[in-house]
Amino acid sequence: MGLFTPSMTGTTPSDCAVLFLSPWGFEEMCTRKLWRDLAERFAGLGVASLRFDYPGTGDSLDHMEFSGGLPVWEKATEAAATELRRLSGTTRLILVGHGLGATFSILFGRQLGAVEGMVLMAPVVSGRSYLRELSAWSKMVDDGLGLAEEQRLTGKTSIAGLVMPEDVAAAVRKINLQATDAAPAGSILMVHRPARDNEAALAARLEELGAIISRQPYLGYDELVSNPTIATQPEAVASRVTEWVGALAAAAGPASGPQSSPFPAVLKGDDFFEEPLRFGPNSRLSGVVCMPAGARRGASVILLGTAYDRHAGWARSTVDTARCLALQGIASLRFDAANVGDSPPVDGAAGQVLFSEGQRDDVRSAFDLMAERQLSPAVLAGRCSGAYLAFQSAIDEPRCSGVVAINPFTFVWDRDEGVDEALRYNPRSLGDYRKRALSLDTLRRLASGQINLGRAAVNIGKQLGRRAALMAPGLLGRLSKYGRLRHAVLSAFRALAERRTPVRLIYSGTDVGLERYHAYFGADGSGMTAFANVTVEIVPDADHNMSPPSAKALVQRRIVEAALAAD
């Protein structure tokens, strides 16, 4: 699956086009928005581009034969280069790679024909060192999620639920770019991390081999790849990469052939077929419609994204869910809201779009698309911020036939609560703190200074204070802010009950969203009995992302049930 961006109307198309080579895993999730931003900047300079998912990643097909390691991804890269030349009318390429993608630029570049230049962003110089770092990084992600040892992927090369095929990992382990014996391109921009001596050494080695090397410190790397939810785009680096690519493309002159229009692309699996598309005002939203290969049944499902994760979902969970639905005869749409992943921002809108009313416009556009394609009625499903968006959109969207909300952080946003702060310092539930306090691993991390005890104490205080404040409004009515919040939440549930819109709430046993649920509906949830259209299910031994296979399967079953019941 790939996304082609032509040169912008009014520009002179360059004879150079950019092929993006993505990193793998968690790093790919964090850089997806950067790729879209760069593609748009290049288009404004007359430079077309293509970004794509390797087989077994993102929106591409699974169950590939990876015997030999990297040949499958190498062949996919060659196919992408051929397609980019056909679409752009160019003869020459500039490769822009990040992490493993930068490494692939060097390893695969000679097989791609005329390559004018390369941008190597934080390349993997030593595969062995990379896999060690990946293992440590994976443990940090799992610790942050609160996964128990038995819930973690062990004995595999993995991170954030994404597993690298064994043969690929074995091939990556053998990578040593210092052994490169020929310059992969005449001009190279090395975007190097200041503390990585091996990246500086690689630049020197490529210079020895005859390449013209330009250097750019990778300022803001850690802020970009630490977490897709709070990733900060490296503006200085993006500007430098754009400037360097623009100069190289301008020197190449105009394109030698006309640009071709991409034909409708359909990805065919055993039980489904998928079509990537753009929709909404000015076709600004990017998504994928997944259709069953057999007869359709039930309502369709609009799968809403979580935070700033691309529409493939955390650990590709949304891709898996869409294809699971297709196996049951259910159609679906997964898409990026504005300023998320592959969808550009709305002009004049605030940069922080999570929990904003503007995202409801994107959901309305999704319902419009389903109606145009005769895929109505539709059910909304989402996790965390996507669950919040599903719930809120259902209130003012009569075309919504049901809601499946997984671990909703809240039901009505407190406008006094800053979204950025809430995302960066999101407190855990009191149940989760209690569970962690009894863990030997927590004691070890506390002794080693890895836990910020002060921050934990502040977060626990916030949870206790909010719980007390939300339970008080029964006496204070609407006189306090928390009273008004409580009234707004109950009014929202009443509105959906009057419309008889089925709502399924699914929580993991220690999720932070349970704090607000219990504050609104009681410690035993008895307050929810007033709403016959709502079912509540609490899943023990699951994290916020529903990572364990049993939890993921349960969520998929509930979405299937909601779709079949809503028809």
CATH superfamily of 267-423+487-566: Alpha/Beta hydrolase fold, catalytic domain (3.40.50.1820)
Residue with tokens 């626990």: 460
Per-residue pLDDT of the chain (567 residues; tens, 9 = 90+): 999 999 999 999 999 999 999 999 999 999 999 999 999 999 999 999 999 999 999 999 987 788 888 999 999 999 999 999 999 999 999 999 999 999 999 999 999 999 999 999 999 999 999 999 999 999 998 888 888 888 888 889 999 999 999 999 999 999 999 999 999 999 999 999 998 999 999 999 999 999 999 999 999 999 999 888 888 999 999 999 999 999 999 999 999 898 887 777 899 999 999 999 999 999 999 999 999 999 999 999 999 999 999 999 999 999 999 999 999 999 999 999 999 999 999 999 988 899 999 999 999 999 999 999 999 999 999 999 999 999 999 999 999 999 999 999 999 998 888 887 777 666 555 555 455 544 555 555 555 555 555 555 555 555 555 555 555 555 455 567 888 899 999 999 999 999 999 999 999 999 999 999 999 999 999 999 999 999 999 999 899 999 999 999 999 999 999 999 997
Strand pairing class (187-192; 400-406) = unpaired
**Domain with residues 2-124+183-252, CATH architecture:** 3-Layer(aba) Sandwich (3.40)
CA distance 517 to 234: 37
3-state secondary structure 350-395: CCCCCCCCHHHHHHHHHHHHHHHCCCCCEEEEEECHHHHHHHHHHH
Cα dihedral sign, 63-65-69-73: negative
CA distance 297 to 374: 13
3-state secondary structure 85-122: HHHHCCCEEEEEEECHHHHHHHHHHHHHCCEEEEEEEC
Asked, colleague to colleague, whether 2-124+183-252 and 267-423+487-566 share their fold, the answer is: yes
Largest alpha-carbon pair distance within the chain? 78
Q: Look at residue 142 in the predicted model and tell me its pLDDT.
A: 87
Is 511 within 8 Å of 538 (Cβ atoms)?
no
Upper half-sphere CA count for residue 420 (Cβ side, 13 Å): 5
Q: Look at residue 72 in the predicted model and tell me its pLDDT.
A: 93
Say which residues have a Cβ less than 8 Å from residue 133's Cβ, sequence separation at least 6.
Answer: none
Among candidate residues 19, 12, 10, the one with its CA nearest the CA of residue 245: 19
Identity (one letter) of the amino acid at 349? A
Segments making up each domain of the chain, as ranges: 2-124+183-252, 267-423+487-566
Q: Look at residue 418 in the predicted model and tell me its pLDDT.
A: 82
Give the count of beta carbons closer than 10 Å to the beta carbon of residue 113.
13
Residue with tokens 């581009």: 49
Put simply, whether the predicted model's pTM sits higher than 0.95 gets the answer no
Radius of gyration of the chain (CA): 24
